[in-house]
């Protein structure tokens, strides 16, 4: 893993939480770009005067709205389905927020203080998997599958946990997939 630069003390809570997450630099960078509104979504590319046809500017997942960070990650019906499944998996209820920062802060505050690190990883992983799915659908003609997405998110979180969390006892993967265990 590449060395991470020092976090300036003036950076916001969400950035510091994302930066501390035990995941690869490219995954952290993707989450940071979402929080800072810097992802290469169609609306951002158009603002940078990259020519995109109106049909290409539509959300790759639902094909209904213009692709923006807010739509792709939080408002698209496909993304909402994923977030709802993740909430069921971790045993929480939440209101869907429509901006990255509000969504992040609400999601990571669903549990106790000791759950924030895990919830941050879940949020980052879901963002990463949605971005990968978007790119797979847009450039490789992959097909949307909610079940495949949920399985990938759980699998990635499991591997990150096993790689970086040495304090928690190992859990059987099937039990992990059935219900996330916050704080341990």
Distances (CA, A) of 142 to 31, 74, 138: 22, 21, 8
- What CA–CA distance (Å, rounded) separates 67 from 73? 10
What global pTM score does this model have? 0.86
- What CA–CA distance (Å, rounded) separates 119 from 104? 9
Q: Where are the domains of the chain?
A: 13-178
Q: What is the DSSP string of 119-139?
A: HHHHHHHHHHHHHHHHHHHHH
Where residue 103 falls among pLDDT bands split at 50, 70, 90? Answer: very high
Read off the pLDDT of each residue in 134-159 and give the average, rounded to a whole number: 92
pLDDT > 80? residue 25: yes
pLDDT on residue 146: 94
Q: The tokens 């963002």 sit on which residue? A: 127
Query: How many C-beta atoms surround the C-beta of residue 6 within 10 A?
Result: 7
Q: Provide the H-helix boundaries in 36-76.
A: 42-47, 69-70
pLDDT > 50? residue 42: yes
- What CA–CA distance (Å, rounded) separates 28 from 91? 25
Q: The tokens 């997405």 sit on which residue? A: 149
Which range is least confidently modeled, 8-22, 130-144, 147-161?
A: 8-22
């Amino acid at each position: 893993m590449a060395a991470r630069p020092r976090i300036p003390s003036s950076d916001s809570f969400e950035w510091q939480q994302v930066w501390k997450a035990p995941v690869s630099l490219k995954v952290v960078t993707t989450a940071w770009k979402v929080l800072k509104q810097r992802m290469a979504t169609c609306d951002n590319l158009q603002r940078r005067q990259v020519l995109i046809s109106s049909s290409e500017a539509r959300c790759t997942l639902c094909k209904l709205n213009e692709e923006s960070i807010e739509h792709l990650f939080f408002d698209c019906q496909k993304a909402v389905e994923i977030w709802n499944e993740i909430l069921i998996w971790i045993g929480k209820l939440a209101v869907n927020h429509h901006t990255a920062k509000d969504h992040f802060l609400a999601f990571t505050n669903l549990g106790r203080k000791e759950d924030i690190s895990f919830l941050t990883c879940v949020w980052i992983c879901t963002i990463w998997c949605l971005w990968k799915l978007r790119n797979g659908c847009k450039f490789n003609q992959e097909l949307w599958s909610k079940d495949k997405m949920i399985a990938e998110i759980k699998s990635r979180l499991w591997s990150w946990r096993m790689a970086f969390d040495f304090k928690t006892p190992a859990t059987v993967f099937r039990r992990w997939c059935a219900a996330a265990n916050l704080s341990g």
